[in-house]
């Protein structure tokens, strides 16, 4: 059972119940922002290109084969469902709309008139050329919260450049401090700056909705991916501000020690002794009191200065036992912050994740039961969580048109002019 289903059964409502979001973005930045809003009860409507849809529908392989369903795209691989797409689009609706037709644009304006939030991630200037810029839509709904996401923002010498997560990871300094010591720049193994930007966008939208409650005014929230990534540099930025050059350190930390991964007899162990008390307790627990008397390791500053020597000492000790034994001794018995290094499957399937109901399922209209990764926010008095599977391309087009008052004849006219796909 999902968190949302459980909360609904107890009579709770979502914080954003009654909020309607129109999401014209593709890929991950805007999609993750609207996903966060959907998790809190908002109705999210994806406006997608006819026949093609969100580019993320085509991200793969892998694709999940679906018998009897001819998904978007022309190749055999694309005639299935992308599980990557699923993870960013739970609990949303899909409307296929050709915004390059006057009729399609009018449908969008009808949706905007009843919407609370609008999200787009066009390159600066494109939304205005399409007739869906902030001023275009504010004229039809002055309470609208309009969110613009781009790679570099709508000002500055790089504003016209296209950009994706890979570029922004490189240009934000993230790659410069990621990877093994002495090695080349390494991309974080997930779309980090996409997700960072999506979280900032959702945060900004929530703030604008809160302000609207007191002022009655809509708002434009504008952000660039590069801007969104820079505040996350934190300790690396701090070293730069002090005139030092951050470097790639593998799993080591620039300002804490021991705070890294060590080899064990059968795998790896993360050890996070972030203060002097934890350092003392760790040395006692692993029967290394000699380290407490070593002047090289007397304080955290000393340990940071001598972390290579410290790594040698601790690696020698941790290699003497398998990971599970260390976790039991140090985490379970002593309450110290250590843990195993899981692969992705282990991270998704373990007793803690199961106890917290982080992984649930939903009934997909074509693929059957699919996994759902829940979001972490839990409220005492409000519902949160996902209820529905990601939508098939365009599956909500006709129902939403009818909700807006369009008749069978109107819908047929939209088909005939190419505003929506034919049957």
Which residues are catalytic, by number?
A: 194
Q: Residues 269, 273, 278, 282: what is their CA dihedral angle, to the nearest 10 degrees?
A: 40
Supply the angle between the helices 192-215 and 29-39 in degrees, to the nearest 10: 50
Cis peptide preceding 61, ω within 30 of 0: yes
How far apart CA 137 and CA 141 sit, in angstroms, is 6
**SS3 of residue 248 by DSSP:** coil
How far apart CA 420 and CA 394 sit, in angstroms, is 9
Count CA atoms closer than 13 A to 292's CA, side-chain side. 14
DSSP assignment of 65-96, as one string?
E-TT---SSSSTTTSEE-HHHHHH-TTEEEEE
Identify the sign of the CA torsion 317, 318, 320, 324. Answer: positive
- Report CA Rg, the chain: 25
Long-range contacts of 408-415 (CB under 8 A, 24+ apart): 413/103, 414/103, 414/104, 414/107
How far apart CA 29 and CA 120 sit, in angstroms, is 9
Closest CA to 322 of 272, 263, 260: 263
CB atoms within 10 A of CB 233: 17
Residue length of the chain: 423
How far apart CA 273 and CA 326 sit, in angstroms, is 15
């Amino acid at each position: 059972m999902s968190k949302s289903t459980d909360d609904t059964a107890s009579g709770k409502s979502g914080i954003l119940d009654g909020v309607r979001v129109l999401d014209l973005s593709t890929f991950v930045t805007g999609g993750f922002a609207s996903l966060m809003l959907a998790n809190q009860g908002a109705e999210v409507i994806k406006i997608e290109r006819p026949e093609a849809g969100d580019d993320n529908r085509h991200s793969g392989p892998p694709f999940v084969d679906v018998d009897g369903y001819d998904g978007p795209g022309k190749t055999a691989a694309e005639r299935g469902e992308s599980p990557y797409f699923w993870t960013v689009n739970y609990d949303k609706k899909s409307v296929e709309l050709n915004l390059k037709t006057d009729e399609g644009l009018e449908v969008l304006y009808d949706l905007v008139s009843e919407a609370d939030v609008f999200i787009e991630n066009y390159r600066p200037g494109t939304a205005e050329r399409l007739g869906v810029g902030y001023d275009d839509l504010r004229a039809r709904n002055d309470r609208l919260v309009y969110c613009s996401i781009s790679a570099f923002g709508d000002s500055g010498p790089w504003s016209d450049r296209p950009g994706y997560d890979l570029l922004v990871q490189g240009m934000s300094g993230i790659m410069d401090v990621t990877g093994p010591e002495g090695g080349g720049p390494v991309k974080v193994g997930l779309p980090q700056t996409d997700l960072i930007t999506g979280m900032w966008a959702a945060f900004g939208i929530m703030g604008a909705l809160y302000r609207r409650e007191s002022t009655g005014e809509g708002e434009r929230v504008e952000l660039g991916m590069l801007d969104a990534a820079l505040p996350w540099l934190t300790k690396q930025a701090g070293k730069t501000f002090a005139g030092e050059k951050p470097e790639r350190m593998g799993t080591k930390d620039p300002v804490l020690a021991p705070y890294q991964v060590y080899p064990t007899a059968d795998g790896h162990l993360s050890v996070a002794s972030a203060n002097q008390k934890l350092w003392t307790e760790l040395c006692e627990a692993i029967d290394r009191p000699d380290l407490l008397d070593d002047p090289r390791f007397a304080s955290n500053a000393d340990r940071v200065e001598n972390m290579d020597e410290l790594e040698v000492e601790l690696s020698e000790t941790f290699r003497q036992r398998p990971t599970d034994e260390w976790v039991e001794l140090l985490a379970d018995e002593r309450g110290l912050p250590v843990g195993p290094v899981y692969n992705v499957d282990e991270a998704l399937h373990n007793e803690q994740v199961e106890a917290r109901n982080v992984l649930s399922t939903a009934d997909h209209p074509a693929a059957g039961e699919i996994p759902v990764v829940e979001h972490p926010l839990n409220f005492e008095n409000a519902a949160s969580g996902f209820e529905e599977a990601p939508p098939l391309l365009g599956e909500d087009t006709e129902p939403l048109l009818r909700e807006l008052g369009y008749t069978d004849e109107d819908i047929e006219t939209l088909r005939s002019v190419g505003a929506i796909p034919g049957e």
